Amino acid sequence: MKTPQNEVLYESIDAIEEEEVKSEVIRYMEENPGLVDLLTRDLSDSVAHGIVVSKLATMVAKNLNASPEYAYRMSIAGFLHDIGKLMISDFLYGRESGTLRIEEVKYIRMHSKLGFEILKKNNYDDIITESVLHHHENYDGSGYPDNLKGLNIPFGARILRVCDVFSALISDRPYRGAYSCEEAMQLLISEVKNFDMRCFLALQRAVNSPDFAYVKDLVNEQNKNFLRTKRLRSELNLDLW
């Protein structure tokens, strides 16, 4: 339910264009009140980031001539791909700063598996759950959780991978400012071994298309809000991901 505390969370969800995705997300949150608390605390990263990845993944899927049904699944998978981070946020937020580095990495790496399990339990279909499970697999086999390589990585996960990294690069982070889209593209090129070339090229086309203006405005808005929420974030010790 919308409260003054989680108002910004609901505003972020309002930004989702597809009505069906929006109502699905709201329904899921209403049924899981504990999740709303966690989302509220983690909104400036997970929710805003989820919206951008959702938009980009939908654009990339369409660009690769995927069916409308597939593109719709990508919009859901994109929004929820990091949902597993919420399950480990208590552990991470509660830590003493500067400690538990190795455990942090280990726990953070569990998020794709945890997200998979949450979505599986909630009857999301295989395309969505498999995409979430493998969204950190690299094309050259150096990713996690299963070191899958090349075309063994589910198509949806290959789409999410490149959109996820691009979204992170163009967003402000506690430890660095946002890269411009041009800089982010250059960084993707230097790491292109991690990505499916078809998905990378589709992202490049999507970013150069007029539809990208919506995502750009969204990210600019988020980056502006970042300064506003930074103080709150550091109070809550959220500067981790």
Residues binding Fe ion (CB under 5 A) = 82, 164
Please report how close the Cβ of residue 165 comes to Fe ion at its closest, in angstroms: 8
For tokens 């198509």, name the residue: 155
Please report how close the Cβ of residue 62 comes to Fe ion at its closest, in angstroms: 20
> What radius of gyration, in Å, describes the C-alpha atoms of the chain?
17
In total, the chain counts a number of residues equal to: 241
Please report how close the Cβ of residue 5 comes to Fe ion at its closest, in angstroms: 24
Which residue lies nearer to Fe ion by CB, 82 or 130?
82
Residue 173 phi, psi (nearest 5): -125, 155
Which residue lies nearer to Fe ion by CB, 63 or 167?
167
Which residue lies nearer to Fe ion by CB, 137 or 164?
164
CA-CA distance, 93 to 100, in Å (whole number)? Answer: 12
Residues β-bridged to residue 176:
173
**For the chain, what percentages of helix, strand and coil (3-state, to nearest 5) are there?**
70, 0, 30
Q: What is the b/e burial string over 81-91, where b = at least 16 CB atoms within 10 angstroms of the residue's CB?
A: bbbbbbbbbee
Which residue lies nearer to Fe ion by CB, 176 or 231?
176
Please report how close the Cβ of residue 164 comes to Fe ion at its closest, in angstroms: 4
Which residue lies nearer to Fe ion by CB, 64 or 86?
86
Tokens of 54: 């959702």
Please report how close the Cβ of residue 1 comes to Fe ion at its closest, in angstroms: 27
